[in-house]
Chains A and B, each alone.
Chain A
Amino acid sequence: MSAADWSWLPLHEMGRRLRAGELSPVALAEHCLERLERLGSRYNAVVTVTRERALAEARRAEAELRAGRDRGPLHGIPYGAKDLLATGGGIPTTWGFAPLREQRFDADAAVIERLEAAGAVLVAKLAMVELAGGMRYDQPNASFTGPGINPWNRAAWSGGSSSGSASAVAAGLVPFAIGTETHGSITGPTAMCGLTGLRPSFGRVSRRGAMALSWTLDKIGPLCHGADDCGLVLEAIAGPDPGDPATLPGAFRYAPEAQPDRRWKLCVLPGEDDSDQPAVPANFRAALEVLQTAAEIEERALPEHPYHEIVMTILFAEAGSAFGYLAETGEAAQLTAPETRTTPHALASIPAAAYVTALRLRQRLHRELTDWLAPYDAVVTPTLKKVAPPLDTTFSAYFGAHRRLVITGVGNLLGWPCVTVPTGFGERGLPTSLQFVGRPGSEATLLALARHYQQQTDWHTRHPPETQ
């Protein structure tokens, strides 16, 4: 195997070679650093290459592995982190926002700490939509690093807000990356770039040291090539943390073989595969045929409720508290996306009563939809109704009536976990995707479903051309 192929190894295989001495952590880190430095700008994927830190961590991993000290499956494996996760040691954390180019923190975010403890090697801080997209951007150019560019088609967007995390993994610059999601920021980019993504249950992963956009909606999770990779990363980063009072008790242990031997029960939502791009429903139906070998699939509608209104009211109100200050400081004018520059001024107008009402409704819907979901292991839908948009369009013009799926609002509103998997290709050679969404705490089931699908298909092993 040549070094060029290292980028595409599954994490468990990469780890096996590292422990067997067939691959060196330092050589692997150098491989990723060279690709990040050479190719990162091609995709607007990188904010900071953390060369010095990466080589120090890789040398330590190499010494430990040689001495027989094994920190687990990620020991010696490089990764990139979305640039809203704090890093100490003088490495900037920019939140994708030009005025914060030189922002520095004293300590690492909890997720970075945990990955370091697991022996993973931080090689880059990755580009993102400014302020995680909370200012209502409507086109791809919404970061001081430029629009995220899709490795499958460089005239297309890589998605947001975890733009660089997705394009860096898809282009083989890093074996995996960490992203965040408030309302679609892991699922969207993984779908657009043909990756497997995991949005954990709310509270599964500590957000200490992560930029807050929405305290009651923000989640942190991995972007990878396959479901097994996501499971291994989640195991390393999940668990309670006194520094984030929203974290759930209990660790997450990824044990795919421990899944019960039974048929799953899945729910398909009527209308969620409507699209004016024929490949989206066609690839979804083909995926359902694969899943039918191991699952009973039933069509059932969600109860009719104003999910989108509720989740966006919560998001806007909390984003207003987080970033309303940009109106007072004048920094709002420095947002890259012109259509967002009035948003920090406007968010203050969300009435407090509307916010509290939205929280009350969320609690009511939590009870109702927990019962609705109980008969199923997961809801399965396309992740997006269209493939990635061209770089030179607005989302409102491109997506039109196909902009949002109801399940995206429901899943984020209620903190439900989600796993996305690639299902083939559509217009302009861009990937299509489906998502499994389940009850809080059901990550193991969702990953088992994704793993089953990926054992029958090879979409997650395909790589974009022109990534060498």
Chain B
Amino acid sequence: MAEAIWPAVWRAWLRVRYGAGLDAETLEAAVRTCEALRAVWQPLLTDRPDNAELPFPNAMHADGEPDAPDGDPK
């Protein structure tokens, strides 16, 4: 679906960005596909976003030891 969605959005974007004017059909296709993506993704998301949802760089290569108590990196 993503390859179907993003090119539809891209067509709309490119028409606006390069001054071709956004016709109703292109706009409709872009909106429709964004709604389709949202319909697929939304059921997987929580209504109460949590800070633990995204990995941060320190979690990606933690060596198991916290920083020094004064906050200085080791």
A308 touches B45 (CB 8 A): no
What mask results when residues 307 to 329 of chain A are scored 1 for a CB within 8 Å of chain B, else 0?
01111110010000000000000
From A247, A248, A309, contact of B40 by CB (8 A): A309
Asked if A348 is at the interface (CB within 8 A of a chain B CB), the reply is yes
Please report the C-alpha to C-alpha distance between residue A90 and residue B41 in the assembled complex, in whole angstroms.
48
A316, A356, A360: most-surrounded residue (chain B CB, <10 A): A360
A357 touches B6 (CB 8 A): no
A326-347: which residues lie under 8 A (CB-CB) from chain B? 342-343, 345-347
Asked if A259 is at the interface (CB within 8 A of a chain B CB), the reply is no
From A305, A342, A350, A363, contact of B14 by CB (8 A): A342
Please report the C-alpha to C-alpha distance between residue A136 and residue B3 in the assembled complex, in whole angstroms.
9
From A245, A311, A316, A350, contact of B60 by CB (8 A): A245
Asked if A306 is at the interface (CB within 8 A of a chain B CB), the reply is yes
Q: How many residues of chain B are within 8 Å of chain A by beta carbon?
A: 26
A133-186: which residues lie under 8 A (CB-CB) from chain B? 136
Show 10 A/B contacts (Cβ-Cβ < 8 Å), sorted by A: A245-B60, A247-B61, A249-B63, A306-B44, A309-B1, A312-B2, A349-B10, A349-B13, A357-B45, A359-B55
From A136, A306, A311, A347, contact of B41 by CB (8 A): A306
Given contacts A346-B13, A360-B54, A361-B45, contact A316 B6 (CB under 8 A): yes
B13 touches A348 (CB 8 A): yes
A313 touches B6 (CB 8 A): yes
B61 touches A248 (CB 8 A): yes
Please report the C-alpha to C-alpha distance between residue A308 and residue B55 in the assembled complex, in whole angstroms.
20
**Given contacts A249-B61, A306-B40, A359-B55, could you give 11 more A-B pairs where the C-beta distance is less than 8 Å?**
A136-B3, A246-B61, A248-B61, A306-B2, A312-B2, A313-B6, A346-B6, A349-B6, A360-B49, A363-B53, A363-B55
Q: How far is the CB of B3 from chain A (nearest CB, A)?
A: 6
Asked if B57 is at the interface (CB within 8 A of a chain A CB), the reply is yes
Asked if A262 is at the interface (CB within 8 A of a chain B CB), the reply is no
Please report the C-alpha to C-alpha distance between residue A247 and residue B53 in the assembled complex, in whole angstroms.
21
A264-321: which residues lie under 8 A (CB-CB) from chain B? 305-306, 308-313, 316
Q: How far is the CB of A380 from chain B (nearest CB, A)?
A: 26
Please report the C-alpha to C-alpha distance between residue A312 and residue B2 in the assembled complex, in whole angstroms.
6
Asked if B37 is at the interface (CB within 8 A of a chain A CB), the reply is yes
A350 touches B6 (CB 8 A): yes
What class of interface size applies to chain A in its complex with B? 20 to 34
What mask results when residues 41 to 62 of chain A are scored 1 for a CB within 8 Å of chain B, else 0?
0000000000000000000000
Asked if B17 is at the interface (CB within 8 A of a chain A CB), the reply is yes
What mask results when residues 1 to 44 of chain B are scored 1 for a CB within 8 Å of chain A, else 0?
11101110110111001100000000000000000010011001
Which residues of A lie under 8 Å from residue B5 when comparing CB positions? 309
Asked if A27 is at the interface (CB within 8 A of a chain B CB), the reply is no
Please report the C-alpha to C-alpha distance between residue A312 and residue B6 in the assembled complex, in whole angstroms.
9
What mask results when residues 345 to 383 of chain A are scored 1 for a CB within 8 Å of chain B, else 0?
111111000101101110110000000000000000000
Which residues of A lie under 8 Å from residue B45 when comparing CB positions? 357, 360-361
Which residues of B lie under 8 Å from residue A350 when comparing CB positions? 6, 9
Which residues of A lie under 8 Å from residue B9 when comparing CB positions? 349-350
Given contacts A342-B10, A357-B45, A361-B44, contact A309 B57 (CB under 8 A): no
Which residues of A lie under 8 Å from residue B41 when comparing CB positions? 306, 309-310, 357, 361
B2, B53, B63: most-surrounded residue (chain A CB, <10 A): B2
Asked if A15 is at the interface (CB within 8 A of a chain B CB), the reply is no
From B1, B10, B57, contact of A346 by CB (8 A): B10
Please report the C-alpha to C-alpha distance between residue A356 and residue B10 in the assembled complex, in whole angstroms.
19
Given contacts A203-B60, A247-B61, contact A364 B44 (CB under 8 A): yes
- What are the 3 closest A-B residue pairs judged by CB atoms, nearest first? A346-B10, A349-B13, A312-B2
Q: How far is the CB of B66 from chain A (nearest CB, A)?
A: 16
Which residues of B lie under 8 Å from residue A136 when comparing CB positions? 3
Q: How far is the CB of A312 from chain B (nearest CB, A)?
A: 4
